[in-house]
Amino acid sequence: MESIRTKQLSFKIGTKTILDNISLQVPDKGIYGYLGRNGAGKSTTIKLLLGLLEDQTDAIFIQGNSLKTNRTHIYANVGNLIESPCYYTKLTVFENLKYLDIIHNKGNKRIDEVLEMVDLHREKKKKTSALSMGMKQRLGIAMSIFHDPQLLILDEPLNGLDPQGIVEMRKLFCHLNEQGKTIFLSSHILSELEKIATHIGIIEGGKMIFQGTKDELLGQVNREVFLRTSNPAATVSVLRKGGFSPVKIDGESVVVTIGDDRRFDFMIKSLVEQQIDIYGLESRSADLEQIFINLIARANG
């Protein structure tokens, strides 16, 4: 079962289409990275998923239930952090979580547990106005996971965190995922998403331009193979005859672009047949950032 499913979700403001037939499929117990440029429709999607914007078409299903008719039931099992962290400024860190505890009835032990998880236990008695930006972000995350939800919807959860904080949060998300939680998150830090996401969705101009597993996305693009051989000139000649293109010499290496694994196997066999010794081989895939830029460029013609 999918944790989040939208059936051709569209959203308009006046005559302007913000989202156009978005069919999200967020698998249960996965980490789904939702990518898009500023203004692509990410935050609108997230606000719709949380009921903060009205779903005009009854197209959103969370854990199998229609959001339109099961709002309060769904919220009991969903944690969220949207854009900037929300907390009550006149309450301390502890009191902010105590406020949620009155609703979710989890007990003071859970408050301490969550504060430990986000490394905010030392700031427990501090007023939120005295917290640094990164600490406020941690508090926002603590509030989103307090009631132990099965689904976390996080919009830019790494904003304002220092590098150490980013690593800690990455570990926390992975830990929560290992416990069986589904995480739907958007982030501008693509390298971080690449490290933790199992599935990726890319939105551009209100339309979904890619959705699938991370491997499917990474497999969509060619990779460059750097070869060090006994005879670079002969290597170039053999590879060109074999239909590889482009092939070029870069210093002591021959650089060849390969589409899939079968071509890779064919390349090795061709070189061995021609008795060219291979001294070194390095395969470099395009990273998520590069793929994202390429896909956006392709979508915009």
Partner 1 sequence: MANTFYTAFLSEKYKLLRNREIFGVLIAPMLLIFAISAYIIYDIVNSGGASAIPNPWKVLLGRYVFQFFYLLYPILVALFVYACCDVEYKNNNYKILFTLPISKSNIFFSKVVFILLTLLFSILFAYAAFLISGYLLSLIYPVLGFQNYDYRQVIFYTFLKLFITLSAIAMIQLALSLLFRSFIYPIGVGMFMLVFSVLIAQKSFSDFIPYTGAYNAVMNIMSENDSFARLDYCNMLMVVLFMLISFYLFKRKGQL
Nearer to partner 1, 155 or 204 (CB): 155
Which residues, 56 to 85, sit near partner 1 by CB under 8 A?
71-76, 78, 80, 82, 84-85
Distance, CA of 95 to CA of 84 (rounded, Å): 19
Nearer to partner 1, 89 or 179 (CB): 89
Nearer to partner 1, 74 or 202 (CB): 74
Q: Nearest distance from residue 101's CB to partner 1, in Å?
A: 9
Question: Per rule CB under 8 A, is residue 147 in the interface with partner 1?
Answer: yes
Nearer to partner 1, 50 or 239 (CB): 50
Residue with tokens 């999607």: 45
Question: Per rule CB under 8 A, is residue 293 in the interface with partner 1?
Answer: no
Candidate residues 20, 28, 95, 289; the one interacting with partner 1 per rule CB under 8 A: 95
Nearer to partner 1, 54 or 277 (CB): 54
- DSSP letter for each residue of the chain: -EEEEESSEEEEETTEEEEEEE--EEETT-EEEEEE-TTSSHHHHHHHHTTSS--TT--EEETTEETTT-HHHHHTTEEEE-SS----TTSBHHHHHHHHHHHH---HHHHHHHHHHTT-GGGTTSBGGGS-HHHHHHHHHHHHHTT--SEEEEESTTTT--HHHHHHHHHHHHHHHHTT-EEEEE-S-HHHHHHH-SEEEEEETTEEEEEEEHHHHHHTS-EEEEEEES-HHHHHHHHHHTT--SEEEETTEEEEEE-SHHHHHHHHHHHHHTTPPEEEEEEEPPPHHHHHHHHHHHHT-
Question: Per rule CB under 8 A, is residue 88 in the interface with partner 1?
Answer: yes
Which residues, 219 to 278, sit near partner 1 by CB under 8 A?
none
Nearer to partner 1, 88 or 279 (CB): 88
Candidate residues 37, 104, 121, 188; the one interacting with partner 1 per rule CB under 8 A: 104
Nearer to partner 1, 153 or 238 (CB): 153
Q: Nearest distance from residue 71's CB to partner 1, in Å?
A: 8
Candidate residues 99, 226, 264, 266; the one interacting with partner 1 per rule CB under 8 A: 99
Q: Burial of 154 by CB count in 10 Å (0-12 exposed, 13-18 middle, 19+ buried)?
A: buried
Question: Per rule CB under 8 A, is residue 52 in the interface with partner 1?
Answer: yes
Question: Per rule CB under 8 A, is residue 103 in the interface with partner 1?
Answer: yes
Question: Per rule CB under 8 A, is residue 28 in the interface with partner 1?
Answer: no
Interface ranges with partner 1 (CB under 8 A): 47, 50-54, 71-76, 78, 80, 82, 84-91, 95, 98-99, 102-105, 143, 147
